[in-house]
């Protein structure tokens, strides 16, 4: 891959793109007073520029959502974190290789190398992703002329540009088709890979169409991402101009400028963006220095994010080179700690037993006085008796597990049918030591809405996964860190801390459902307050024994 990058940087085609960018800037600057432009840039409103910078990151997240949906439809998704990191790295590759044509090929090769998929299969998902992106752009572009048409204060008649929206739509379609055709011709012409690419593309497309809800979510993410990218220029314009303007008048110009600057004939759209902003925004009285300064700020944001993405690529590359390559896991051992769980255990075991990748279910009982152990034995589980304490029970069960992955499952948490494959897909990322699932509650109160969102915040900001999210860990990693902590409470906090020291945590691409019985018993607000208090005291060093008494108090 490094040789390909070096060769790309030396190619005459890329040098030509740089020349076109410089020529475009020269033509733009000829129509400006450079002193006025410099003065405009020196008085940038930082709050608007900062908002634009953050908006680019949010738009990248929306693009990651879109591509992750396509990857899932093609059965090529690893986990959401890997997709987001690869999208950010893709921005660096697109900038370095002057557009998505070469960037998507490079991104596909890297993704395939790191996670063990076929490069044509991943490249096909990139093409599907670009088509979804094009559909989102067309939906956005179709709305903007209407907003301009209904503007009663427009200083330029919309009838002056009757064919403008149609022109940009046709140009966008032509760019998408030409980019795809160029990649196919250059990289796969006359090879068996072309047949593989075509087959994978149509297979993924049919699977995506067969899931209309996923397709709609992907289209919505694409639509919102284009709104964000257009708003990027708007915020930068707000950062430099003092002129009052009507957004409904200008709204159609922003997607037009974005589309023009995306043509793969310049470096990061430089020259084309400034020229188109100068002309189109000038139609509505925006001073030339303000229009060009705003587009230059957009370029700065692109390049800063590309630089950050380059650092991320360097870090990820080093991490994947240093991680020990181990055989991919195939078998799961499910560990269920129990204490008087006769009412809920049977359904939990039956659902886990239907998962093909599960090789054994170990029920570790802490001294139940009901029929818990009898039910477990009837359902074919191996029953282990242990002193009471959830951490101790799971530790005892994990020590007897024989599977490649240890899955710690609460007795009232139900696994979906695809949980096993979701775990194996997630662990294709060799940097992941363990993780959990997305979670929703059964029969929740309206006050409990947003459980999936809290799972993401908890992992990506807090670095932890809760026990009722069905924690899974590579068995060799679990042994290396000393097993499950022998704690009566907060054992998942300590376990996640130890796992983060040796690898990453991730959320597998499936959702478990768990009981809301504790919330029903104590009340939603009271339960959340108690959880927050216990968590806070744990971070301040309160012992697990004291926390257990507080947590289990009626």
pLDDT tens for each residue of 341-360: 999 999 999 999 999 999 99
DSSP H stretches of helix in 262-406: 272-282, 288-322, 342-353, 372-378, 390-399
Q: Using DSSP, how many helices (H) and how many strands (E) does the chain show?
A: 24, 8
Q: 194 pLDDT exceeds 70? A: no
Residues whose CB is less than 8 angstroms from the CB of residue 110 and which lie 6 or more positions away in sequence, other chains included: 1, 86, 89, 93
Strand, coil or helix: 407: strand
How far is residue 68's CA from residue 86's CA, in Å, rounded to a whole number? Answer: 10
Burial class (CB in 10 A: 0-12, 13-18, 19+), 182: middle
How far is residue 134's CA from residue 178's CA, in Å, rounded to a whole number? Answer: 13
Strand-pair partners of 364: 337, 384
Q: Output the CATH code of domain 332-515.
A: 3.90.550.10
pLDDT at 138 (0 to 100): 79
Q: Are 359 and 331 in contact (CB under 8 A)?
A: yes
> What's the rounded mean pLDDT across residues 293-318?
93
At residue 132 the predicted structure's pLDDT band, cuts being 50, 70 and 90, is confident
At residue 86 the predicted structure's pLDDT band, cuts being 50, 70 and 90, is very high
At residue 185 the predicted structure's pLDDT band, cuts being 50, 70 and 90, is low
At residue 2 the predicted structure's pLDDT band, cuts being 50, 70 and 90, is very low
Strand-pair partners of 380: none
CA distances from 23 to 17, 29, 41, 192, 276 (A): 10, 10, 21, 41, 14
Q: Are 504 and 431 in contact (CB under 8 A)?
A: yes
Residue spans per domain, the chain: 47-319, 332-515
Average pLDDT score over the chain: 83
Q: What is the pLDDT of residues 108-120, one digit of tens each?
A: 899 999 998 988 8
In this structure, the number of other CB atoms found within 10 A of the CB of residue 120 comes to: 23
Q: 451 pLDDT exceeds 80? A: yes
Q: What is the pLDDT of residues 142-184, one digit of tens each?
A: 776 555 554 444 444 434 443 444 454 455 555 555 555 555 5
Whole-prediction pTM: 0.85
CA angle 55, 211, 348 (to 5 degrees): 95
């Amino acid at each position: 891959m490094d040789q390909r990058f070096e060769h790309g940087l030396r190619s005459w085609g890329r040098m030509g793109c740089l020349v076109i960018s410089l020529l475009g800037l020269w033509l733009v600057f000829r129509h400006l007073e450079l002193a006025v432009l410099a003065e405009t840039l020196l008085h940038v409103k930082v709050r608007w520029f900062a908002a634009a910078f953050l908006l680019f990151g949010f738009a990248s997240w929306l693009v990651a959502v879109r591509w992750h949906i396509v990857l899932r439809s093609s059965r090529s998704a690893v986990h959401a974190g890997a997709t987001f990191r690869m999208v950010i790295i893709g921005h660096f590759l697109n900038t370095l290789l002057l557009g998505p044509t070469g960037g998507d090929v490079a991104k596909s090769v890297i993704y395939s190398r790191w996670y063990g998929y076929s490069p044509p299969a991943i490249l096909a998902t990139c093409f599907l992703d670009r088509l979804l992106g094009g559909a989102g752009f067309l939906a956005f572009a179709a709305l903007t002329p209407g907003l301009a048409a209904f503007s009663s204060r427009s200083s330029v008649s919309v009838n002056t540009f009757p064919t403008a929206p149609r022109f940009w739509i046709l140009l966008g379609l032509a760019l998408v088709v030409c980019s795809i055709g160029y990649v196919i011709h250059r990289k796969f012409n006359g090879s068996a890979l072309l047949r593989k690419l075509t087959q994978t593309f149509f297979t993924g497309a049919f699977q995506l169409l067969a899931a209309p809800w996923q397709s709609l979510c992907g289209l919505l993410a694409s639509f919102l991402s284009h709104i964000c990218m257009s708003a990027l220029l708007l915020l930068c314009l707000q950062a430099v101009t003092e002129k009052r303007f009507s957004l409904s008048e200008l709204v159609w110009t922003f997607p037009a400028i974005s589309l023009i600057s995306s043509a793969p004939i310049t470096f990061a759209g430089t020259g084309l963006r400034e020229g188109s902003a100068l002309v189109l925004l000038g139609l509505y009285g925006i001073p030339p220095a303000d229009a060009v300064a705003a587009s230059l700020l957009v370029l700065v944001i692109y390049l800063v994010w590309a630089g950050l993405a380059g650092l991320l690529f360097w870090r990820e590359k080093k991490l994947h080179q240093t991680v020990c390559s181990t055989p991919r896991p195939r078998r799961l051992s499910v560990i269920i700690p129990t204490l008087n769980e006769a009412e809920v255990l049977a359904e939990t075991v039956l659902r886990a037993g239907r998962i093909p990748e599960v090789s054994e279910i170990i029920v570790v009982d802490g001294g139940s006085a009901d029929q818990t152990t009898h039910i477990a034995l009837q359902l074919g589980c191996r029953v282990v008796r242990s002193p009471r304490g959830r951490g101790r029970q799971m530790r005892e069960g994990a020590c007897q597990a024989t599977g490649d992955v240890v899955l710690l499952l609460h007795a009232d948490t139900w696994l979906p049918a695809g949980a096993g494959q979701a775990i194996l897909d997630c662990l294709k990322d060799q940097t992941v030591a363990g993780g959990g699932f997305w979670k929703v509650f059964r029969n929740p109160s309206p006050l409990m809405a947003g459980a999936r969102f809290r799972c993401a915040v908890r992992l990506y900001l807090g670095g932890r996964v809760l026990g009722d999210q069905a924690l899974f860990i590579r068995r060799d990693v679990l042994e290396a860190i000393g097993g499950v902590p022998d704690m009566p409470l907060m054992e998942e906090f300590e376990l996640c801390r130890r796992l983060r020291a040796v690898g990453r945590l991730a959320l597998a691409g499936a959702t478990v459902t768990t009981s809301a019985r504790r919330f029903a018993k104590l009340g939603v607000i009271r339960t959340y307050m108690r959880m927050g208090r216990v968590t806070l005291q744990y971070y301040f060093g309160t012992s697990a024994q004291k926390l257990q008494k507080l947590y289990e108090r009626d």
